[in-house]
Amino acid sequence: MNRRQFVHAAAGAVAFARIPKLTAATAKRFDLIVKGGRVIDPSRKFDAIADVAIAQGRIAAVEANIAGDAAETIDAKGKLVVPGLIDIHTHAARVKDGPAMCLADGVTGLIDAGSQGADHISDTIAIAKSAPQICRVLINIGRAGILAEGDTMDINRADVGAARAAIAANREMIAGIKARLSRDVAGPNDYEVLRRAQEVASAFKIPVMIHMGQTVSPLSKLFPLLKSGDIVTHMFAPPPNSIIDDSGHILPEVLAGRRRGVRFDLGNGRTGHLRWDIAEQVLKAGFLPDTFSTDWTPEARTAQVIDFPNVMSKFLMLGMPMDQVIACATVNAARDFPVFRNHGTLKIGAPADIAVLELREGSFEFVDNYENKRMGRERLFPYATVLGGKRVAGRPSAAAAF
């Protein structure tokens, strides 16, 4: 052990006293070393070829050429080693194996964003509780959850009392409230639905995530209802009622929202949320997303979304630098919900959640929600996932499928 490594190991031991002293000569110094990859950790502005060593489920050292043995090694040469991905808008808790499928894609923390409302929230909570990684749910303000005829087309479904009772009974698992506001979901009720969502939120001091895009009401009417810490998903939704006007200016109410701490999220999805020309204009206006998210469903695994690294790759194609792309899927996402505190980072002592990604060069087709195709020269693929210091089984034949 050289001096720098010793200092790192010592710092880790002080910060986490449960790590036993490494006295026995026969003991492995580390449980796992992810070796020789390009480590990108935007939380520390770190970008270099390095090893990541793990002990007792936590990051023990991030250094070039870490000496000493480990029980297991992942050869990450030629790969990217980044904090475990955090996906704040999924519908993974709709299906029993949803969280595990996302985990294989590198997602070590996720939110089910409003699949269910008060009537059936116990369904998503049961799946979230059994997830291998941290999984929390947002409760849909529409008490019946996502409905084909519109969650809150009948305003009586936006039931403040029912939502409050459900949250009070499941405070640990419900991280916020989801309000879907599009015209085919809420119709002309959008403003009242959001007002009621905030009425519920105020009792618990939790965020509201709004699903914007194609609302009946203009954003200039809706956005003043958003408070600091609330999240706007589907930020690149095309008109009517985009965040950008016809002349390429971000709406003043949107800029004011960001200034007071409203967060802006991609929410890739499959219908009505992402169109390349809008994304380009918004990025060109300098209005960058805080977070990426997939709006994952089992059906989206084969269309448009595919996996979180694929969604991230779309923004490499649109010209965002790699460190910002990684930040949107890690440290920025961790800031949205207290449950992800200390996640989304590879700092010493943090829980050892890691996504090893492969950046391939070639010709890759990306599709927006309107069948518009774009070709990119790079695409990130899931390669290996480490959760709490342990390597998890990969997505079967992920590489072979492409």
**Which residues of the shown chain bind Zn ion in the complex (CB under 5 A)?**
295
Specify the DSSP class assigned to residue 94: G
For residue 313, list its beta bridge partners: none
**Which lies closer to Zn ion via its Cβ, residue 190 or residue 295?**
295
Nearer to Zn ion, 5 or 268 (CB): 268
For the chain, report the end-to-end CA distance as a whole number of angstroms: 41
Q: Between 159 and 295, whose beta carbon lies closer to Zn ion?
A: 295
Sign of CA dihedral 229, 335, 260, 322: negative
**Residues 6 or more apart whose Cβ sits within 8 Å of residue 119:** 143, 144, 145, 162
We find the least distance from the C-beta atom of residue 135 to Zn ion, in angstroms, to be: 15
What number of CA atoms fall less than 13 Å from residue 361's CA on the CB side? Answer: 1
Helices marked H in 141-203: 160-169, 190-202
- Structural contact between residues 307 and 320, judged by C-beta atoms closer than 8 angstroms: no
Minimum gap (Å) between residue 375 Cβ and Zn ion: 27
Comparison of 108 and 140: residue with beta carbon closer to Zn ion: 140
**Measured at CB, which residue is nearest to Zn ion?**
295
Which residue, 31 or 151, is less far from Zn ion as judged by CB?
151
Q: Check if the beta carbon of residue 133 is closer than 8 Å to that of residue 377.
A: no
Q: How far is the CB of 305 from Zn ion (least distance, A)?
A: 11
How many Å apart are CA 324 and CA 82, to the nearest integer? Answer: 12
Distance between CA 264 and CA 289 in Å, rounded? 5
Shortest spacing between CB 58 and Zn ion, in angstroms: 33
Which two tokens mark 269?
């999805």
Kindly state the smallest distance separating residue 235's Cβ from Zn ion, in Å.
13
Nearer Cβ to Zn ion (273/379): 273
CB of 291 to Zn ion, least distance (A): 14
Query: Shortest CA distance to 315 belongs to which of 335, 299, 340, 332?
Result: 332
Tokens of 281: 């204009």
Q: Beta-strand (E) ranges in 26-153?
A: 30-41, 46-55, 58-63, 70-75, 80-83, 85-90, 107-117, 134-140
Closest separation in Å from C-beta 89 to Zn ion? 6
Which one, 295 or 358, has the nearer CB to Zn ion?
295
Dihedrals φ, ψ of 38, to 5°?
-85, 110
Give the separation between CA 359 and CA 376, rounded to whole angstroms. Answer: 12
Q: How far is the CB of 146 from Zn ion (least distance, A)?
A: 8
Nearer to Zn ion by C-beta: 265 or 295?
Answer: 295
